Structures are given as C-alpha cells and as structure tokens.
Amino acid sequence: MRTSAQILAIVIAVLLASVWLMESFFYRHPRLYPLFLLEPRDFDAVKLWIVNLGFYNFTTGVALALGVVLARTGHVPQGEALVAFTAAQHVFLALVLLATERRLWLNTLLEGVPAAVLLGLVLL
C-alpha cells in the first residue's frame, strides 16, 4: 500500500475518532447543533442513535488504522482490503447522507471526498 494511502487512512481514522467524541459524548454542546441539525429538545429522542453512530464511526476508524498496521507488518493484501472496504463504505454512506438530508452537504463532502481519494489511492 502506498505511503500516501497509509497517511490518508490514518488522518481519516483520527477524524473519525474526533467525530466519535462529538457524537457520543459532546452532541449536546451548542457549537455542534448545526453539525448534527439538533435542537436541545431533541437530545433525549436522538441519544440512542447518535451515541451508537459515534461508536460506529470509532470502529471504522479503528478498521482503517488496523488496515495500515496490517499493511506495514507484511499483510499487505489484507490491509489493503480492509482500508479499501472501509473507504468504499464511507463513500457510500456520504451519498446516503446527501440523499437523506441535503442540508448536510458539507458533512457529505467531509466524509465522502477523503474516503474517495483514499479508495483511489488503494485501488490504483
């Protein structure tokens, strides 16, 4: 796996860890209202889903990091497969997000573009 793909995979993994913290622990913070399109009156209703989504993002970040570790320790095909699958998954999820809520177009770009670049680096 190319060094550029490994670096981008780690950067995305760190970003996903940041999203995990925001979604799972800090989603009630006023600065995050626009990011999640949440209002304080909705917190109790969305807690189950947003916390779960945060941990989902954390595990996909771990998958990216694990893919890099595998590639760097001699398990290149396995590492590339894990990184490629995770990147493709986030490209798909970004498209689902855009189709579901167009007001989150910036979130879509932040999720989908780096993942698409990563997928291209791994596959080409």
What are the tens digits of pLDDT across the range 13-70? Answer: 999 999 999 888 887 888 877 777 777 888 888 787 888 888 999 999 999 999 999 9
Residue that wins the pLDDT comparison between 116 and 41: 116
- Domain of residue 77 covers 3-123
> Whole-angstrom Cα distance, residue 117 to residue 39?
33
The most confident of the ranges 21-30, 46-55, 82-91, 102-111 is: 82-91
Q: Are 46 and 38 in contact (CB under 8 A)?
A: yes
Domains identified in the chain, total number: 1
For the entire predicted model, the pTM comes to 0.86
Q: Are 46 and 4 in contact (CB under 8 A)?
A: no
At residue 51, the pLDDT reads 87
Q: Are 64 and 79 in contact (CB under 8 A)?
A: no
Percent of all residues in the chain with a pLDDT value above 70, rounded to a whole number? 100
